[in-house]
Amino acid sequence: MLRATLLVSALLFASATPALACRSADYALGIVFEEPAPAHLSRETFVLDVTFPGSETQGPSRLRRIVTANVRRVVRGDFAGEAVRVEIGGRTCSSPFRFGTEGLIVGHLRPTPDGDVFIPRQESVIARRRRLESR
């Protein structure tokens, strides 16, 4: 009986752990949609004007996954394509589309065996609030 109780307790704790990793919704990360494009960027930084189709914004937000965004225009960087693969999530405290599903995304391309993947800047609600208040 004690063994069963310990097993159930361990399973309940393990399943609750991801929720405990985020102190509050204010700390969940989301993709940063910039407007206007930042002025001071490194040479390898890309700025793409994209829109994420509704089907891509659905699904588990706590898992690292690759979604496809439609590229409306290239603001900065050498990119030629109508779509870009974007890596989202990656933390237990992620909500990638909390700030929207379209606009300018800033980041870099990471080569993978399946082709390049765009890694966008992400920030928390608290960091976003501080950044916008300091303007």
Q: Dihedral sign for Cα 96, 101, 105, 111, please.
A: positive
Instruction: State pTM to two decimals.
Output: 0.73
Q: How far apart are CA 18 and CA 91, in angstroms?
A: 9
105 contacts 35 by C-beta, under 8 angstroms: no
Place of tokens 């985020």: 22
Residues with Cβ within 8 Å of 114's Cβ and at least 6 positions away in sequence, in order, are: none
98 contacts 52 by C-beta, under 8 angstroms: no
Q: Residue 108 in 3-state DSSP?
A: strand
- What's the pLDDT score for residue 49? 96
Structure confidence by residue, pLDDT tens digits, 40-91: 888 899 999 999 987 666 655 556 788 899 999 999 999 999 999 998 876 6
